[in-house]
Structure 1
Amino acid sequence: MGKFEKQAKELLDAIGGKENVAAVTHCATRMRFVLNDDAKADKKRIEAISTTKGMFTNAGQFQVIIGNDVADFYNDFSAISGIEGVSKEAAKSAAKTNQNVIQKLVGTLSEIFTPLLPAIIVGGLILGFRNILEGVQIQALGQAAVDGVLKVTSEGKPVWNTIVQVSPFWNGVNSFLWLPGEAIFHFLPVGITWSVTRKMGTTQILGIVLGITLVSPQLLNAYAVNGTTAAEIAKNWTWDFGFFTLEKIGYQAQVIPAMAAGFLLAYLERFFRKHIPEAISMIFVPLFSLLPTIIAAHAIIGPIGWKIGQGISFVVNTGLTSSLAWLFGGVFGILYAPLVITGLHHTTLAIDAQLIADYGSTNLWPLIDLSNIAQGASVFAVYLLHKKNKKEAEISVPSTISAWLGVTEPAMFGINLKYLYPFVAAMIGSGIAGMVSTFMGVRANSIGVGGLPGILAIRGEDMLKFLLPMLIALVVPILLTFFFRQAGIFNKLDRVGAGAVNLSEQDAALDALEGAAQAGTAIGTTVEITSPLKGEVRALSTASDPVFSQGMMGEGVVILPSEGLLSAPFAGVVSAVFPTKHAIGLISDAGVEVLIHIGMDTVSLAGKGFETFVAQGDHVIKGQKLLTFDIDFIKNQGFVIETPVIVTNQDSFQADLLGQVPHATLTGDVIMTATKR
């Protein structure tokens, strides 16, 4: 009888029996099922199984976390079920049948924007602060400023100005902050095209070049297009090729044109790499991939995006002037957030400006402001649900602040779209609030101030009215986020139970093996762990893979190596050398279990670029060469080389980082200690 035969039988029954299993495989910590019907899985029963540490659904796979014993558990499961396992790639292929178009689209967006999050979050906070400086109205002081005399009109009414109009210092700060703000958001297409090529494993520098061609200063800025006449564009912003012309239009902050162009570039490069001889591929693959993509981006992809934007502008303008404006307010409130994803929300600025010019105020801007508030509320709800998750808090807290200051991209791309259900909750809350706002006739005198400070842009007679839709935009998304999460509705990652965790789809082996020799180690004993690499030591929370960054497999550090030589961090036994050579498990003589994982997703390289010099069971001394790896090759294949060094048996040893991070390290420097509990 197998060690886990009883639990394996319980799991098989709980997932709906053999007939409900389309495919099964496992990684180093998880059983990965592709179920014919996920609804047949009894999650409460699964959670109650003694060996189960949690479960989640991701990328069409129903994954049950077992931990270090997953290989033995898998063998017992196969024996009692009679189900033969498949490769991970086969399981992934089967899992795709469980994903609908929206899930695939959201997953793609998440993969593309995750590497951009640090910049987007910083940019969101900067632009949110600039919104306050440029939008908040204060009373201006007169010449007798030292006496606190306020400026007044000839009629004796106080003069109101923005902070930047009153204060030279804050005007300078505001102007300076536009430098990083413009770099992050106006030039966002550069980051997107780079990220697409990174995801697709193609040449990343070509993606960067493509992005630059979309935002070049030679082009008419996207924000200026609506204010430029067709005649001026034809005269000053057109390439004339004799028998045809092409408009010089930029795509600053545009997402869809950048993504479409990035994918076109990636697929063209893949195609030409297969059909052009390797001897001349360095010349012709970039040439035949990049130039056609640039032409298509400006001749086809971009113009189509603008046509879509013009169509949306027409619909919005018609809706705002119809007898069913209140209904339009609800629909627009729901759809505004998806517009932000596409970058088409910029078209609303022209409509707002025209409404203010014609009527002295706009009833569209309040709807946009309510959408900002709703997205921030949903992120805040996610923070409350997952506040023990330190890594997520680093994203959700500033994203909430950013959204409540009027910039929602960090909230949407960092949290809400990743989980999906908070994004839907925010859309619904925004729709209800927008309907109420339009029904009550709330209008704004100006545009620019978003989020909670947005009330300062509302007409004086409507400010008190606006408090109600603001409250709706705050409360409804929070309540719906809690409800959707509990009920599993729109829940992309489907967190279940206290033991469930959020894990990205990774093929990495994450565990060291069980069975450390701890019997002779006294409580309080401290073991020094030296750096196995030369490079830069960083906090584990900075790892791009949440399995590591959230400390799910243990505590430790991330090292960005500058040399491709991995050495033993202490004397001990090699507990695991993974077949793909990208990860090694070690057990010190005192029983500390350590996992060293070279790069992220490098399991996909199947050992290429790696060479090992030890085998499982070998005893090693501190500083002994374990493996070598080709840093340039790994990078050129589109993988990051950040290397987690993790103490995996944290129930027995407390890992403590030494020194401030980040800092440079040499092989052999002490970077951590592990203390016996």
Structure 2
Amino acid sequence: MSFLLHFILQRGEKKFFEKKLAIELEIGYNNSVMICTYKSNSITTIKGEIMGKFESDAKTLLQAVGGKDNVAAVSHCATRMRFVLNDDSKADIKAIENLSAVKGTFTNAGQFQVIIGNDVPIFYNDFSAVSGIEGVSKEAAKSAAKKNLNPVQRVLTMLAEIFTPIIPAIIVGGLILGFRNVLESVGMEWLGQQVADGAKVFDADGNPVWNTITMVSPFWSGVNHFLWLPGEAIFHFLPVGITWSVTRKMGTTQILGIILGICLVSPQLLNAYAVAGTPAKEIAENWVWNFGSFTVNRIGYQAQVIPALLAGLALANLEIFWRKRIPEVVSMIFVPFLSLLPALILAHTVLGPFGWWLGQGLSTVVLAGLTGPFKWLFGAIFGSLYAPLVITGLHHMTNAIDTQLIADAGGTGLWPMIALSNIAQGSAVLAYYFMNRHSEKEAQISLPAAISAYLGVTEPALFGVNVKYIYPFVAALIGSGIAGLLSTSLNITANAIGVGGLPGILAIKANSWGAFLLAMLVAIVVPFILTFFFRKAGILTKAEDAAKADFVEAPVAALTPATEEHASASSLPILSPLTGEAKELSTANDPVFAQGLMGQGVLIQPTEGKLLAPVDGTISVLFPTKHAVGMVSTDGVELLMHIGMDTVNLEGQGFTAHVVQGDTVKAGDLLITFDMEAIKAAGYLTETPVIVTNQDTFAPADLLALPSNVIAGQALMKALKK
């Protein structure tokens, strides 16, 4: 019966086994030892004992987080324990990260997260046993975490959570507008037609007028014209996305949010972009709703952020208010009507005009900082502080200001500094890589993190190296601050947002390209040199010195093809569990996977919502929310497949499991189906890490050339036994 006891411990599902096996179970703990008593008609009462697999580490972790009294709430997802601590300062990070079961830690949105891996359900049960603390749901943990935030942080966190789901659309819009920026701005005079007499055309300042790509090529002119449709639509109709995201965040009816957003940008309204050029008399005569004794301006809110945000909050709170007071039997009729109509009236009479005024006021203040006599100081401060905002997760709030600036001033000076901050963090971690390139463990974390930061995603660099060791972070802040000073001093402006890092130049207005290249050079060189200098001079290096003194380096398996020295080793084929595009694992948006903390493997962007078994083996872990599954192959390879990022928050919606934990499967068997569109509509990514978690025994090898399109069932890689 030890197998049964282990299953009970692993799953923690007493009722499941009572029903399945027709037995009565009594489960308790005595000095951290699990006591299981089971009875049936044919079996006499027996007692068995089994020690928790992670009992020792769980005890140490409890003490390292400050003891039971310091834990306000605890939950877990597919890979990590999530704590809400009463006092974060009591957590002993060094002791926690020194545990054999722990792969790393970080804090986000008031939660202290301890990365365990796909054994986290077992660890969680052991922790509950030794601590006596009952776990809570992810949403309850989030709610508990809010007590660690002050009122300002709560507001900013809410803004970040509202804007996060619409970021993919903003990025697409930024890429499209950046490409159109190139087509409309790059001079191609040598390919174009000059005036009839052969002379060059000069502008009022005596500079030659260059023909652009769109002026020279009918094809690219047509492409440019076509791309206006999605590029401008994303920003013109941004209020629809905002009101939808607000209702999603508040847990109210999302279709009502979409309808409210449409009512803010309807073609029946005077376009927000045309308001400034329309005389007040014409607005009063032609663009009002006339109710006899009073009129209401019939003005749209295209690209306006704050009016849409306020209107969405009004709608959500009205729905919450009425749902508590209207009987459920008639709620379907009255709740939507009494929520949408008042919210729409408020949007066009009070909230819209107030939000417009507030948004323009905010953009005016920021614009004054960007263009005023102390713009150099504003640039230095913003350039230095943007990366700390990323650490807190509050950096998404700048999207609202950027969008407002583009709507009001035709461009934003904030986005160039954001792109420069990405570059600076990448340069600091790149310097760290060069100093530690002979350490396989450090190199495999730092180099991918540097590449990711240069492409605009800084979390791997921040959490994996810079913040951890402090001095690269400070070097990056200094370089970013100087680059920000240059950016505002030289009036560098972007006409779109969404493209960060080195590709960020695509979003910069053409007349600022030269200045931006100079600022980019500063963001590359200064942090790189300062990181080397700080290390050599021993400045701010205590964290790294302590880490190297406390930990004995264990090489991490590199993703390299099999060599002759491995000819005699076992080479076990692993098939692709998904159809889609296979990429480097370092490109994952979640730093835990990108840094290889869970193990090495590949990232697959699926194009079909079917997850198949990549090997013959046993289902070792099937998470209750069905978004992640672990397998042990018949040869002992442990695999984890995690569908999407943060999809644990969906609580199983959109996922259907076709196996249960403990099942034996063959390669190619269907494990999970998932609704890709539903996952994306909820604001989550579908990219799926496929990783070997027992990397002390097996190393991925013979990978396909990445990136590469793959079909479920084709060879993806091999697991090489060490």
Give the TM interval when normalised to the shorter protein. 0.5 to 0.7
- Pick closer, same or farther for the CA change 1:628–1:184 going to 2, 3 Å: closer
Q: Shift of residue 56 of structure 1?
A: 0.3
Structure 2 residue matching 1:97: 3-state secondary structure: helix
2:347 is matched with: 297
Q: Shift of residue 378 of structure 1?
A: 0.3
2:23 is matched with: none
2:422 is aligned, of 355, 361, 379, to 379
- Pick closer, same or farther for the CA change 1:467–1:587 going to 2, 3 Å: closer
Confirm whether residue 86 of structure 1 aligns to residue 131 of structure 2: no
Structure 1 unmatched ranges of 5 or more: 351-364, 401-410, 487-495, 499-520
- Pick closer, same or farther for the CA change 1:209–1:14 going to 2, 3 Å: same
Distance 2:370 2:113 in 1: 47
Q: Shift of residue 255 of structure 1?
A: 2.0
Residue pair 1:547, 1:553 contacting (<8 A) in 2 also? yes
Within-5 A mapping of 1:169-318: 169=218, 174-272=224-322, 284-309=334-359, 311=361
Distance 2:110 2:608 in 1: 34
Distance 2:330 2:680 in 1: 18
Residue pair 1:380, 1:478 contacting (<8 A) in 2 also? no
Structure 1 residue matching 2:145: 3-state secondary structure: helix
2:618 is matched with: 573
- Pick closer, same or farther for the CA change 1:191–1:385 going to 2, 3 Å: farther
- Pick closer, same or farther for the CA change 1:300–1:426 going to 2, 3 Å: farther
1:349 is matched with: 409
- Pick closer, same or farther for the CA change 1:650–1:382 going to 2, 3 Å: farther
Structure 1 residue matching 2:373: 3-state secondary structure: helix
- Pick closer, same or farther for the CA change 1:13–1:180 going to 2, 3 Å: same
2:569 is matched with: 523
- Pick closer, same or farther for the CA change 1:96–1:658 going to 2, 3 Å: same
Higher RCO structure (Cα 8 Å, ≥6 apart): 1
Q: TM-score, normalised by structure 1?
A: 0.67
- Can you list the C-alpha shifts for 1:485-530, whole angstroms capped at 9, x where unaligned? 99xxxxxxxxx979xxxxxxxxxxxxxxxxxxxxxx9834333547
- Pick closer, same or farther for the CA change 1:539–1:552 going to 2, 3 Å: farther
Distance 1:13 1:274 in 2: 43
Structure 2 residue matching 1:575: 3-state secondary structure: strand
Matched AA of 2:418: Q
Within-5 A mapping of 1:498-517: none
Q: Shift of residue 552 of structure 1?
A: 5.2
- Pick closer, same or farther for the CA change 1:282–1:599 going to 2, 3 Å: farther
Residue pair 1:60, 1:95 contacting (<8 A) in 2 also? yes
Structure 2 residue matching 1:341: 3-state secondary structure: helix
Matched AA of 1:527: P
- After the TM superposition, which of the residue ranges 56-65 and 642-651 deviates more from structure 2? 642-651
Q: Shift of residue 66 of structure 1?
A: 2.8
Within-5 A mapping of 1:549-628: 553=598, 555=601, 557=604, 559=606, 570-580=615-625, 583-595=628-640, 603=648, 615-621=660-666
Distance 2:525 2:341 in 1: 49
Distance 1:434 1:611 in 2: 50
- Can you list the C-alpha shifts for 1:147-184, whole angstroms capped at 9, x where unaligned? 974236999x5544573796465666554443332122
Distance 2:684 2:193 in 1: 59
Structure 1 residue matching 2:700: 3-state secondary structure: strand
Matched AA of 2:720: K
Distance 2:656 2:172 in 1: 40
1:361 is matched with: none
- Can you list the C-alpha shifts for 1:75-96, whole angstroms capped at 9, x where unaligned? 665666x552432455433322
1:62 is matched with: 112
Distance 1:176 1:613 in 2: 44
Distance 1:527 1:85 in 2: 41
Residue pair 1:433, 1:472 contacting (<8 A) in 2 also? no
- Paired residue total: 590
Distance 1:238 1:607 in 2: 47
Confirm whether residue 675 of structure 1 aligns to residue 719 of structure 2: yes
Residue pair 1:113, 1:192 contacting (<8 A) in 2 also? yes
1:163 is matched with: 212
2:500 is matched with: none
Residue pair 1:202, 1:638 contacting (<8 A) in 2 also? no
Distance 2:236 2:525 in 1: 32
Residue pair 2:78, 2:628 contacting (<8 A) in 1 also? no
Distance 1:224 1:39 in 2: 53
Q: Shift of residue 393 of structure 1?
A: 7.5
Matched AA of 2:618: V
2:560 is matched with: none
Distance 1:647 1:339 in 2: 34
Distance 1:101 1:641 in 2: 29
Q: Shift of residue 567 of structure 1?
A: 6.7
Distance 2:156 2:370 in 1: 30
Structure 2 residue matching 1:646: 3-state secondary structure: strand
Residue pair 2:483, 2:520 contacting (<8 A) in 1 also? no
Residue pair 1:530, 1:570 contacting (<8 A) in 2 also? no
Confirm whether residue 104 of structure 1 aligns to residue 154 of structure 2: yes
Residue pair 1:429, 1:476 contacting (<8 A) in 2 also? no
Distance 1:601 1:642 in 2: 10
- Pick closer, same or farther for the CA change 1:67–1:102 going to 2, 3 Å: same
- Pick closer, same or farther for the CA change 1:55–1:381 going to 2, 3 Å: same
- After the TM superposition, which of the residue ranges 239-248 and 146-155 deviates more from structure 2? 146-155
Residue pair 1:269, 1:286 contacting (<8 A) in 2 also? yes
Residue pair 1:221, 1:249 contacting (<8 A) in 2 also? yes
Paired-residue identity, %:
47
Confirm whether residue 654 of structure 1 aligns to residue 703 of structure 2: no
Q: Shift of residue 251 of structure 1?
A: 1.9
Alpha-carbon RMSD? 5.6
Q: Shift of residue 21 of structure 1?
A: 3.9
Matched AA of 1:163: T
Within-5 A mapping of 1:319-468: 326-327=373-374, 330=377, 341-342=400-401, 343-346=403-406, 349=409, 369=413, 371-384=414-427, 396-397=453-454, 399=456, 432-433=485-486, 437=489
Distance 1:47 1:664 in 2: 38
Within-5 A mapping of 1:110-149: 110-131=160-181, 149=199
- Can you list the C-alpha shifts for 1:364-392, whole angstroms capped at 9, x where unaligned? x9xx64x4432221011233456758997
- Pick closer, same or farther for the CA change 1:224–1:32 going to 2, 3 Å: same
Structure 2 unmatched ranges of 5 or more: 1-50, 387-396, 431-444, 468-472, 498-503, 536-545, 549-566
- Can you list the C-alpha shifts for 1:386-420, whole angstroms capped at 9, x where unaligned? 675899788754559xxxxxxxxxx99xx99xx99
Matched AA of 2:636: G
